[in-house]
A and B are shown apart, each in its own frame.
Chain A
Amino acid sequence: MNKRSAKSSLLFTGSDWNFDMLSRVYDAIEEVAIDDLGLDVYPNQVEVISSEQMLDAYASIGMPLMYRHWSFGKHFVHEELLYRKGRRGLAYELVINSNPCITYLMEENTMAMQALVTAHASFGHNHFFKNNYLFQQWTDAGSILNYMEFAKGYISRCEEIYGIAAVEAILDSAHAIMDQGVFRYRRPPRLSSEKERQRIRERLEYEERSYSDLWRTVPQKQDGTEQQVAERELRERKKSLKLPEENLLYFLEKNSLILEPWQREILRIVRVVAQYFYPQRQTKVMNEGCATFVHYTIMNTLFDRGQITEGALLEILASHANVVFQPDFDDPRFSSINPYALGFAMMQDIERICVNPTAEDRDWFPDIAGNGDWRGTLRNAWADHRDESFVLQFLSPALMRKMRFFMLDDQAGENFYRVGAIHDERGYQRVRAALAHTFDLSANQPDIQVVDVDLLGDRRLRLQHTIQSGSLLAEQTRDATLRHIRRLWGYEVSLAGVDADSGKLLYETSIEEA
């Protein structure tokens, strides 16, 4: 009898899986996740797919619905090649920030892997998507799939009406400034595909109704000295166009002089996609760390409760170890800091600080050290931070020593690097600040804004690149990208590089012909 009950508490034994097992394991994981860890998740939708479908999903930047564009085809042949050559394994799962939260499981996974992946994606990532402030503020999990369906349909209708080449040209140009197509400081309006359609209709109707050639011929009032007039005009112009504007796609959508309504709509779609992914790019360490920490904790709990076998746990741990492997900087396998490794290590460290702090931890983290509630502390961290602030807040000296972090100063023009700081008493703060800075997306992406445009004069669009710590733009891609902007704007486009500290003009370039 005793033996029987021990045996029946196991959720699965072999490596084969079926849907019954998946659902049994899901329920067990859910119990741990909700009752023990206190996670709060969107309803889950788990979809089983084949490896080809996984490759397909990769190519369309992970969205289940995506409009068509050649660049996705290019990424697809690239991914496919790496996979076929065995140079890169496929991810075990893919998860989509939507409500319900969609998780893709690969059919090739063993049952142990399916359990790991369910815990990782359906609970770890899912909790993060639902609770992190960036996602809450900037994405609409509930409507993104509807919106993408609308976008896909809209773009394919445009292709039918205006031809694939015309649509592709607009998409090419829009993709070029996708990184500059997000609102960083104010929240975009919520999406609704029905409202979208309504808005398009209204926009079209309005443009048709309000067109009058007469406005062009009305003479303008002139007074004051030329200087004053010019200045006042500039002020008014900037005010009416809400300049400076950081979101180039938004500005072009609203103010471009040559775009047709449907082209503006396509810009808008690209902008919405860019905005949707913006939080994910800022929370890679936290998101992966959270998911990894969650699967690690849940799997160990299941093992402690006797619900999975030692063999399954070993398989899970082997795969876990691969995921959080961080090679040293001088290792040939090193490419950059592994977000899984850093995130997981930091979260384990937080758990340690909460439960078992040292004197040093009490100095550095007086508010959480020894509070015993690591679950609550982690949940708060997951909710309130992005990578930059998370590292700045929670990277402990102990972990810096463990990972043996050091900071290199790289000054262009010198033929050496200087070791700026290492994991010692003098260096902790600086290493931590520097590491946090590398995760700050707005510091790593060129800051390019629209500063002026003279709609009544030469119609030149003036962009300004604020140069942070002397980093210029790569010229070849800069000019190619400017040509794309020129295409969307319709008239001359100029870009001025201004140093952020001194305010000096470092370069100026302009594109007159697309």
Chain B
Amino acid sequence: MPNFIDRRLNPRDKSLGNRQRFLKRVREELKRTINDQIRSGKIVDTDKDHVVPIPSAGTAEPTFRHAQSTGHKQHVLPGNKEFRTGDRLPRPQGGGEGSGKGAATGGGESEDDFRFVLTREEVLDLFFEDLELPDLIKMNLKEASTFKPRRAGFAITGSPTNINVGRTMRNSYGRRIALKRPKAQEIEAIAREIAALEADPEPTAEIRKRIILLQLTQKTMERRRKLIPYVDPVDIRFNRFEPQPIPSANAVMFCLMDVSGSMGEREKDLAKRFFVLLHLFLKRRYKRTDIVFIRHTHEAHEVDEETFFYSTQSGGTIVSTALEEMRKIIHERYPSNEWNIYAAQASDGDNSSDDSGNCVYLLDREIMKLCQYYAYVEIIDERESDIFRMTDNGTSLWKAYRQVSERWTNFQMTRIARPSDIYPVFHKLFAKHHDQAKGG
């Protein structure tokens, strides 16, 4: 008889640790691949499993192997059909040359050449490597619209479905002991004794006395049992639940972008990468994340993602139209007590000369009060980046927003010149604000 063991319930993922080590080892290369994929893909696709090729650097496992193209070998093969000793067969093309590169023999050569799936979590880990999420969720409980029951001790009243049997029976047991409720066995024992005594055909006076005594005791005990119930209403305990408010778990992200002629492919690409990051970021934190795309020239429209990134439109540049549109959409669809509102605006900084004042007014008066966070990203020419990096000087829009950012801590602005800037900038925008949680 063997020892049968059911291991199916043992923890799975025994190799998870090894898998993580492997991913860590090839982190840099995977990161590059993911970045490329995210850059060329759609925003919503970013947040999925990714198929990536196995990175070659750092994962080679070299051993001493014979080079395939050297030496004299003898192969024995099955299934001879027409060969006779001494026949010559042309060497298959590629066999001699391809294997000369030191590839592994047989089935081993495919090992380093395959694609595998990274889960969403792993992708995001790579993406946000050491980025701390800012604590910007709306915690103002008055605004919370949903409640979740949470266990909070015991109560003496409640609905029958919430009876806590364990606690109730414990109370009942304690009370029964304290009040000395006779047990059924004790009464039975007495009854048996009486029966035994009564069975005696010629009872002596003593026995008769004893019987009467016992009958009395029996009666008292039975009365006690009736008076002291097994479970009394005072024993009963109910699980108590307290409604716990849940902070609203929805977020909406407004993407605002200038699409006038001055925004070229490069600018849009940079803007897109920034939006992607922000979206992923929010999606990690909130149950539901909507995205609203608003593009503007001298007038603003809400559009779908495709149009937002890939179609062009000509016209002037009036930024305040986009802000106006955003305000309108918030009022129509995203009441700020139910939604966490984030906005990201990307622009090259152009604005018609008299409009910047309007923008500041709109932001100050209304939008900043509604928004959880507002990020303004100005995309500048690489050549300008060195000049502008350290200075507050800039376009009219930049200067105007500067004032806003001084007044509102949840307004952040920065400049991006090349893709490599985006991570550090994103990091800067989000990493520094844990002291500014709103609603305090």
Which secondary structure dominates where chain B touches chain A?
loop
If A19-B4, A43-B3, A81-B115 touch, does A407 touch B75 (CB 8 Å cutoff)? yes
Q: How many residues of B contact A (CB 8 A)?
A: 66
Q: Is the CB of B8 within 8 A of A50?
A: yes
Question: Does A469 sit within 8 A of B, measured CB to CB?
Answer: yes
Question: Does A193 sit within 8 A of B, measured CB to CB?
Answer: no
Q: Is the CB of B5 within 8 A of A46?
A: yes
If A46-B4, A48-B4, A422-B85 touch, does A73 touch B74 (CB 8 Å cutoff)? no
Question: Does B310 sit within 8 A of A, measured CB to CB?
Answer: no
Q: Note all chain B residues with C-beta closer than 8 A to A57.
A: 14
Interface residues of B (CB under 8 A from A): 1-8, 10, 12-15, 17-25, 54, 59-81, 83-91, 96, 101-103, 106-107, 111, 114-117
Question: Does A205 sit within 8 A of B, measured CB to CB?
Answer: no
Q: Is the CB of A73 within 8 A of B21?
A: yes
21 A-B residue pairings within 8 Å (CB atoms): A47-B5, A48-B8, A53-B10, A56-B15, A69-B21, A70-B18, A73-B20, A337-B76, A407-B77, A408-B77, A410-B75, A417-B91, A419-B84, A422-B85, A471-B70, A471-B73, A477-B64, A477-B65, A477-B102, A478-B102, A481-B63
Q: Is the CB of A56 within 8 A of B13?
A: yes
A369 CB to nearest B CB, Å = 24
Q: Note all chain A residues with C-beta closer than 8 A to B111.
A: 75, 78
Q: Is the CB of A416 within 8 A of B15?
A: no
Q: Is the CB of A68 within 8 A of B17?
A: yes
Residue of B nearest to A106 (CB): B8
Q: Is the CB of B18 within 8 A of A76?
A: yes
Residues 404-431 of A contacting B (Cβ, < 8 Å): 404-412, 414-424, 426-427, 431
Q: Note all chain A residues with C-beta closer than 8 A to B63.
A: 176-179, 477, 481
- Choose from A56, A330, A335, A419 the contact partner of B85 (Cβ within 8 Å): A419
Q: Is the CB of B7 within 8 A of A48?
A: yes
Complexed CA–CA distance, A49 and B4 (Å): 11
Please name the 5 residue pairs, one residue from A and one from B, whose CB atoms are nearest each other, closest first: A328-B79, A73-B22, A471-B71, A474-B102, A73-B18
Question: Does A141 sit within 8 A of B, measured CB to CB?
Answer: no
Residues 327-359 of A contacting B (Cβ, < 8 Å): 327-331, 334-337
Q: Note all chain B residues with C-beta closer than 8 A to A490.
A: none
Q: Is the CB of A60 within 8 A of B15?
A: yes
Q: Note all chain A residues with C-beta closer than 8 A to B74.
A: 407-410, 420, 434, 437-438
Q: Is the CB of A412 within 8 A of B84?
A: no
Q: Which of A22-30, A232-240, A255-263, A289-297 contacts B (4 or more CB under 8 A)?
A: A22-30
Complexed CA–CA distance, A448 and B14 (Å): 36
Q: Note all chain A residues with C-beta closer than 8 A to B69.
A: 412
Q: Is the CB of A72 within 8 A of B18?
A: yes
B103 CB to nearest A CB, Å = 8
Known: A406-B76, A471-B71, A476-B101. 18 other contacts (CB 8 A): A23-B2, A56-B14, A56-B15, A57-B14, A329-B77, A329-B80, A337-B78, A404-B80, A412-B69, A416-B89, A419-B86, A422-B83, A423-B80, A438-B74, A438-B76, A448-B64, A469-B71, A470-B70
Q: Is the CB of B12 within 8 A of A52?
A: yes
Question: Does A505 sit within 8 A of B, measured CB to CB?
Answer: no
Q: Is the CB of B3 within 8 A of A100?
A: yes
Q: Note all chain B residues with C-beta closer than 8 A to A330.
A: 79, 81
Q: Is the CB of A73 within 8 A of B23?
A: yes
Question: Does A326 sit within 8 A of B, measured CB to CB?
Answer: yes
Complexed CA–CA distance, A421 and B14 (Å): 49
Complexed CA–CA distance, A55 and B116 (Å): 15
Residues 429-445 of A contacting B (Cβ, < 8 Å): 431, 434-435, 437-438, 444-445
Complexed CA–CA distance, A230 and B186 (Å): 103
Q: Is the CB of A477 within 8 A of B8?
A: no
Q: Is the CB of B89 within 8 A of A405?
A: no
Q: Note all chain B residues with C-beta closer than 8 A to A467.
A: 71
Residues 176-191 of A contacting B (Cβ, < 8 Å): 176-180
Q: Note all chain A residues with C-beta closer than 8 A to B78.
A: 326, 328-329, 337, 403-405
B56 CB to nearest A CB, Å = 11
B7 CB to nearest A CB, Å = 5
Q: Is the CB of B15 within 8 A of A472?
A: no
A258 CB to nearest B CB, Å = 21
Q: Is the CB of A435 within 8 A of B76?
A: yes
Q: Is the CB of B70 within 8 A of A412?
A: yes
Residue of B nearest to A404 (CB): B80
Q: Note all chain A residues with C-beta closer than 8 A to B10.
A: 49, 53
Complexed CA–CA distance, A46 and B111 (Å): 31
Question: Does A446 sit within 8 A of B, measured CB to CB?
Answer: yes
Q: Note all chain A residues with C-beta closer than 8 A to B106.
A: 335-336
Most buried by B among A45, A56, A465: A56
Complexed CA–CA distance, A52 and B16 (Å): 11
A10 CB to nearest B CB, Å = 20
A39 CB to nearest B CB, Å = 14
B115 CB to nearest A CB, Å = 7
Complexed CA–CA distance, A74 and B24 (Å): 11
Residues 11-56 of A contacting B (Cβ, < 8 Å): 19, 22-23, 26-27, 43-50, 52-53, 55-56
Q: Is the CB of A469 within 8 A of B72?
A: yes
- Choose from B2, B6, B23, B59 the contact partner of A26 (Cβ within 8 Å): B2
Q: Note all chain B residues with C-beta closer than 8 A to A484.
A: 62
A256 CB to nearest B CB, Å = 19
Q: Note all chain B residues with C-beta closer than 8 A to A392.
A: none
